[in-house]
Structure 1
Amino acid sequence: MLEVRDLSVNYGPFRALHDVNLTVQQGEIVVLLGANGAGKSTLFRTLSGLQRPSGGTATWNGRPLTGGKPEFNVSHGVSQCPEGRLLFPDLSVEKNLRLGAFVHRRDAAGTARELERVYALFPALVEKRHAPAGSLSGGQQQMVAIARALMARPELLLLDEPSLGLAPLVVEQVFEAVQRVNEAGVSVLLAEQNAFAALGIAHRGYVLEGGRVSLQGSQGELLGNDRVRSAYLGV
C-alpha cells in the first residue's frame, strides 16, 4: 500500500533523510523507532505532503504522495496525527473532530457516522464533546487528536509519537485503541520512542538513526535484537 523508495529530504544544506526505503502493507501496524532528531517527523511531513523531498519517491496505492497538496493525500486515504496533538484548544472537542472531516464536508450523514464511531472508540470523550479541547487532560487530548485524524476516514494512519508525555496507564489505553483501529481495517505507520509499547502491537518495524534506516525486521526480530534492546528497551 505504502512504498517509500530512496527518499531524501533537505532543509537547506542539512540533509534530514538519506535514501529511506520502507513499506507498509494492507492491515499492518509498522513501527518506526528512533530518538529525537532521527527524522521520523520529517518523514511523516513528507508523506503528508507538507514537506517536499529532494529525491526519491513515496507512493500510496500507486499514487504519488510527494509533490502534491496535503489535502489530496488526505482525500485519498492518508491521514496524520501529528506529534504534540496540535489541537485548537479554544474550540470544543466536537468542533476539533469535525475539522478532521473537512475533506468530506459535503457528506453530513457520513460525518455523523464517523463521529459515532470515534466516540465509541474513545467513550471518555462523549461527556467532553462540548468542552474546550484545551481543558482536557493530556491523555484525553491525545484521544481527540487520534479521533480527529480518523474523521478523515483513512486507510493509512500516520501516528507521530502518540505516547509522548502520557502516564503509563494512559499509554496502554491509547495503544489498545490503535489496535482496535487496525483491527477495523486501517493500516498504521507509528513513529515512537516508547519501543516497548510500540513493539507490543506492531507487526514489523524499522529503526531510523541519523535520517537513515539502520535496521528492520519483524516484531520478534526487533525485540530480540541486542542493539534495539540496549538503545530502546533499556535491557
Structure 2
Amino acid sequence: MVDKTIFPKCDQCGDVGCKLRSPGKFPRCPTNVSEHTLEEIKNRYQDEDINKIMQAGAETERGTIKMIDGVPTPIRPRISEIMAFARSMGWNKLGVAFCLATRDEAIRLIRVLEANDFEVHSIICRAFSITKGDLGIPDKNCLSSPLETVCNPVYQAELLNEAETDLNIVVGLCVGHDMLFNKYSKAYTTTLMVKDRMTANNPVGPLYSPFFKGILEKK
C-alpha cells in the first residue's frame, strides 16, 4: 500500500533514470510513491483524442530537430512548431487571446498565421471595456482608480468558443487571467509568450541572474 502522504520529488533525483527507462532508483520517484501501474498509464494514451495529440506532438518535435554534424539541432522556432502541430491535427481555425500590453507581438503573430493560410480570430483583453470598479476591485488594488479598464479573460474565451476555434494561442495574458482563459476555453490552448513586466517578457531570466537574488530569496 502506497503512503498517499508521500508525493514525488523529481527535483531531488540525481540521475533522471526515467529518461533511460530505469526509473525507481530514487525513493521519491513517482514509480515508487504512486499506485498507478505502467499498464494503466499506457492505456490512458490509447484514448483516440489523447493519442492523436501525442502523435502530432511527436511529429512536431521530430520536424523541429535535425542532426547537424552529429548534433541534434533545433531548426524552427515555437511559432513554426505551433503551425506544424495545428496542421498535423487538421486544425485551421485559430484563436489568439492577447493582452493590451502585448498587442504589437499579437499583431505580428496574426500576420504570420494568416500568411500561412490559417483563419485567425483575435480577442484583446480589454474587450467590452469593463472597469475594475465593475468587479468590485478596491481602490488600493488599482493602478489609478476603479474607473480603469480591466482584463476580461472569461469573455475572451467565450468569444473564441463562439467562433468555434480549433486551437487558441495565449499571448501575454496576466497571471491569473491566463488561468481563467484556460479554464473557460473549449478549444485546446497553448501559450506562445507570457508577460513579465520586469524582464521584457523573459520570465526565466531571474533564475540565472545574481541581480535578482534579493528579490527571489525567501523573506
Q: Which structure exhibits the higher relative contact order, with contacts defined as CA atoms closer than 8 Å and separated by 6 or more residues?
A: 1
Query: Which TM-score band (shorter chain)?
Result: 0.3 to 0.5
Q: What TM-score do you get using the length of structure 2 for normalisation?
A: 0.33
Identify, as 1 or 2, the structure richer in strand.
Answer: 1
